[in-house]
Amino acid sequence: MADVTTTDWQAWQDSWDRQQEWYMPDREERFRVMLDMLEALVGPTPRVLDLACGTGSITDRVLKRFPNATSTGVDLDPALLTIARGHFAGDGRAAFVTADLKDPDWVAALPHASYDAVLTATALHWLHSPQLAVLYRQLAPLVREGGVFMNADHMPDPATPRINAAEHAHRHAAMERAREEGALGWAEWWALAAADPVLAEPTRQRYEIYGEHADGDTPAADWHVRTLREAGFAEARTVWSSPCDALVLGLK
């Protein structure tokens, strides 16, 4: 049995980042804007809920930029949570909770009743729109008055099919060139995780939960804005966008 203390958690974090950047070369730019808006609206010492946190990518960037912040990560994926807990072991600013966002009572697993900010990136497209609308209604009471919710995700505009097709073709051509140079895609990354002695069992459990990939959808940014306002956020709008993705912010 492998000794987890010998595992290089930083290497797994870096590997996850590189794999995600293969899909989203502007990933760090959206994180930068997210943290800029976080600081602008709630200040440099936020209590953050890192929603569908994965390996804790948002938590990592929040704590590096705001050393006095705290973060609670919540996810269901056993393998990604194993990496997150290993990477942040001993850091009292970060805590991680296992919960299913489709469970009506998932909020009960959280250590706090309210947060200055709820942040998520490239995760909630795993839910179908009706499920996401329910989640937004659950999130609104978790965000304190004056606090924020931000979701950076795939939000293509269905009204521009030719633009979408051209962007998709251009992006995937670049991805293919990167793959030829050795970049890891989703399937290759998970194959490495399954082969790692420490992550093999959590990865097996993860596939039992999700299969290859969850089957959600990607509504446009204006759907997110409208649904956040209907859920109880006083203001909501897009604060960053790329040709296929957007960062939507809701303010209580």
Q: What is the DSSP letter of 101?
A: T
* Contact between 193 and 204 (Cβ < 8 Å): no
Which tokens belong to 78?
A: 């056993």
What digits encode the pLDDT tens for the residues 39-95? 999 999 999 999 999 999 999 999 999 999 999 999 999 999 999 999 999 999 999
> Residue 2 above 60 pLDDT?
no
For residue 6, the model assigns a pLDDT of 67
> Residue 5 above 50 pLDDT?
no
Average pLDDT of span 175-194: 91
Average pLDDT, the chain: 94
CATH 3.30.413.10 fits 4-251, yes or no: no
Domain residue limits, the chain: 4-251
Return left, alpha or beta for 24; rule: phi > 0 is left, psi -120 to 50 is alpha, else beta: beta
Q: Is the pTM of this model over 0.75?
A: yes
For residue 139, the model assigns a pLDDT of 98
Q: Of 114, 118, 152, whose CA–CA distance to 50 is shortest?
A: 118
229: amino acid identity, one letter = R
Percent of the chain with pLDDT over 70: 97
What digits encode the pLDDT tens for the residues 167-179? 999 999 998 998 8
